[in-house]
Chain A
Amino acid sequence: DQQVKQNSPSLSVQEGRISILNCDYTNSMFDYFLWYKKYPAEGPTFLISISSIKDKNEDGRFTVFLNKSAKHLSLHIVPSQPGDSAVYFCAASPETSGSRLTFGEGTQLTVNP
């Protein structure tokens, strides 16, 4: 039972363009969502988060959008840079479970110079 799904295993974009990574979830108890970025041989690094009371959160080049009715969130990176090439994981947590995170399968983003 995959409660958090990232349906695109990979995404390739040109430097300077927008990258849009998508994530869907099924558990209506999830109320906090995060994006992590992972380089090879390193652990995931926190990127940005959003609470279910909001529908948008922005931090520099990174913006996360949350559509609760569709149980969908997306990460926008504008403009994309070659250093953004990494695996991006969507994660979610329900209030009742404390800080336990449920992750998606990840999307490999490649930004071409």
Chain B
Amino acid sequence: GAGVSQSPRYKVAKRGQDVALRCDPISGHVSLFWYQQALGQGPEFLTYFQNEAQLDKSGLPSDRFFAERPEGSVSTLKIQRTQQEDSAVYLCASSHIRLARLETQYFGPGTRLLVL
């Protein structure tokens, strides 16, 4: 498919376990975003990459959260020592930079994480 894909779609983790969430952006998209969406809330910004450079990580809630995009395409969001409050849907979005300042962000289906 041509859209943003994320895996796994669902993840159940025991408290204290480490998890890794993968995002495959649309081919050629330079910008990549991670958002966290708690139940009944809107998505909240976590971090932003332009190619392999992480330009903004101000939304990461703690140092247990780490994101990388080493080759400027696929990205991984890692959560160490998961806590119950980490339970949420994690959304990845990508966009293609053109001359316009703000590009439409295309979202993946999300990974639903449940921490028991």
Contacts and interface: CB of A to CB of B under 8 A. Distances in A.
Given A44-B43, A93-B102, A98 B91 contact: no
A105 to B, nearest CB: 5
Interface stretch (B67-75, B79-87, B105-113): B105-113
Interface residues of B, number: 27
Nearest to B50: A98
Nearest to B46: A100
B101 A43 contact: no
Given A99-B48, A99-B102, A100-B48, A42 B109 contact: yes
Contact of A95 (B4, B45, B101, B107): B101
A70 interface: no
Nearest to A103: B42
A93 B105 CA distance: 12
A99 B105 contact: yes
B105 A46 contact: yes
B55 interface: yes
Contacts of A103: 35, 42-44
A89 interface: yes
Nearest to B91: A43
B106 A46 contact: yes
Contacts of B108: 43
B57 to A, nearest CB: 11
B107 A44 contact: yes
Nearest to B58: A100
A7 interface: no
A97 interface: yes
5 contacts: A45-B107, A97-B56, A100-B56, A101-B105, A105-B41
